[in-house]
Amino acid sequence: MTITLSPITSAFAAEVGDVDLAQPIAADDLAAIKQAFWKYAVLIFPDQQLDADRHYDFARQFGPVEVDRVLDTSLHPHRIDPKFADISNLDAQGRIWGESSRQRMYKAGNKLWHTDSSFKYTPGLCSLLYARTVVPIGGHTEFADQRAAYDALPDDAKRKLEGLVAEHCIAHSRRRSGFHEFTDDEAKRLPPVPQALVRTLPESGRKTLYVASHIGRIFGMPQAEATVLIDQLIAHVTQRQFVYTHRWRPNDLVMWDNRCTLHRGTDFDDLRWVRDMRRATVSDHANSCIQEGLAVPV
Ligand code: OGA
Ligand code: MN
């Protein structure tokens, strides 16, 4: 069986059919999936039956899977295996979280445009998010194509961005979404890290912006200028022509390239409905400055 590809637009987001991710994947199917992934950056695999092991095994085909550890596990015991980020509105006992729970305040940051794990020195390569329980209204995930947004910039803007390095920090995006309460231990574990503002994707040779709400400053640029530039770039990338909105069905697996897309969750009534998803995040092989041949600022 060879896979079937149904592009959503000619260059961004495609559905993949005729593949069962719960079975070992034939080498030529995996090669076809990878080729499609480097081209479309967002792939949707409908109607998959994935337990934790099958989900993990598929993610492993793309590189090492991160352990999810942002919040202190002594304050927040994991509900699910820490190989996965728990993208749900459930507490450790599996009940809908409380209105003022720390988890809820922290995860509100997922509603800002971001890319996963750019706040880690070796950032995220791709994420694989699997939907177990979805909600009847809202709770979509929007994706924006940072490659197409880069291509659409005027030449002088491209020149101005060349070689710039931004500082990403989870505390920064969380402050933007109203969460100020990292413990000292949490803050120490995730210090700010440098990342290139423009990247080149080795598989396609395409250039891409690499912006996110995790960015706090740009090295060598006055703060007022940097804050405005980052806001403008995020607004540019997330114009509707660069965005695909995924409306979840149960058992969808969606994977995206964190090097060249932004995403955010949309609102839903999270005190009423259960939304239960889990995400495997695959690490890139090196910091983006190193990949771009840029000096890593200290
Ligand atoms: C994620 C994420 C948004 C959503 O899984 O990384 O940001 O729609 N999800 O839940
Ligand atoms: Mn995310």
Residue 209 CA to ligand 1 centre (angstroms): 20
Q: Is 227 contained in some domain?
A: yes
Q: Is 297 contained in some domain?
A: no
Q: Is the distance from CB of 181 to CB of 273 less than 8 angstroms?
A: no
More confident residue, 237 or 71: 237
- The pairing of beta strand 207-209 with beta strand 14-17: unpaired
Residue 238 CA to ligand 1 centre (angstroms): 16
Pocket test for ligand 1, best of 44, 141, 256, 257 (most atoms within 8 A of CB): 141
Residue 87 CA to ligand 1 centre (angstroms): 6
Note every long-range contact of 157-163, with CB atoms under 8 Å and residues 24 or more positions apart, other chains counting.
Answer: 158/198, 161/197, 161/198, 161/209, 162/198, 163/198, 163/294
Residue 294 CA to ligand 1 centre (angstroms): 30
Predicted confidence (pLDDT) per residue in 119-140, tens digit: 999 999 999 999 999 999 999 9
Q: How many CB atoms lie within 10 A of CB 61?
A: 13
Host domain of residue 140: 4-292
Residue 220 CA to ligand 1 centre (angstroms): 32
Shortest-distance atom of ligand 1 to CA 281: 6
Q: What is the residue with the minimal CA distance to atom 4 of ligand 1? A: 265
Q: Is 298 contained in some domain?
A: no
* Token pair belonging to 65: 């899977």
**Residues surrounding ion ligand 2 at CB below 5 Å:** 116
The percent of residues in the chain predicted with pLDDT above 90, rounded, is 89
Q: Is 54 contained in some domain?
A: yes
Going along the chain, which residue ranges are E strands? 4-7, 14-17, 42-45, 85-88, 124-133, 141-145, 165-168, 193-196, 198-200, 207-209, 215-218, 243-246, 253-257, 261-265, 276-283
Q: Is 114 contained in some domain?
A: yes
Predicted confidence (pLDDT) per residue in 241-267, tens digit: 999 999 999 999 999 999 999 999 999
Q: Is 163 contained in some domain?
A: yes
Shortest-distance atom of ligand 1 to CA 127: 6
How many independent structural domains does the chain possess? 1
- The predicted model scores a pTM of 0.97
Q: What is the residue with the minimal CA distance to atom 2 of ligand 1? A: 110
Shortest-distance atom of ligand 1 to CA 265: 8
**Is the confidence at residue 58, as pLDDT, over 70?**
yes
Give the span between the Cα atoms of 117 and 96, in whole angstroms.
Answer: 26
Predicted confidence (pLDDT) per residue in 29-45, tens digit: 999 999 999 999 999 99
* pLDDT value for 73: 84
Q: Which residues of 22-49 are buried (b: 16+ CB within 10 A; e: fewer)?
A: eeebeeebbebbeebbebbbbbbbeebe
Residue 274 CA to ligand 1 centre (angstroms): 15
Mean pLDDT, to the nearest integer, of 101-111? Answer: 93
Q: Is 229 contained in some domain?
A: yes
Going along 47-191, which residue ranges are E strands? 85-88, 124-133, 141-145, 165-168
Q: Is 276 contained in some domain?
A: yes
Please give the backbone phi and psi of residue 152, each rounded to the nearest 5 degrees, phi first: -80, -5
**Confidence band (pLDDT; 50, 70, 90) for 1?**
low
Q: Is 141 in the pocket of ligand 1 (CB under 6 A)?
A: yes
Select from 267, 13, 261, 239 the least CA-distant residue to 140. 267
CA distances from 61 to 27, 165, 251, 282 (A): 11, 30, 20, 9
CATH of the domain at 271: 3.60.130.10
**Is the confidence at residue 200, as pLDDT, over 70?**
yes
Predicted confidence (pLDDT) per residue in 141-191, tens digit: 999 999 999 999 999 999 999 999 999 999 999 888 888 888 888 888 899
* pLDDT value for 297: 87
* pLDDT value for 72: 83
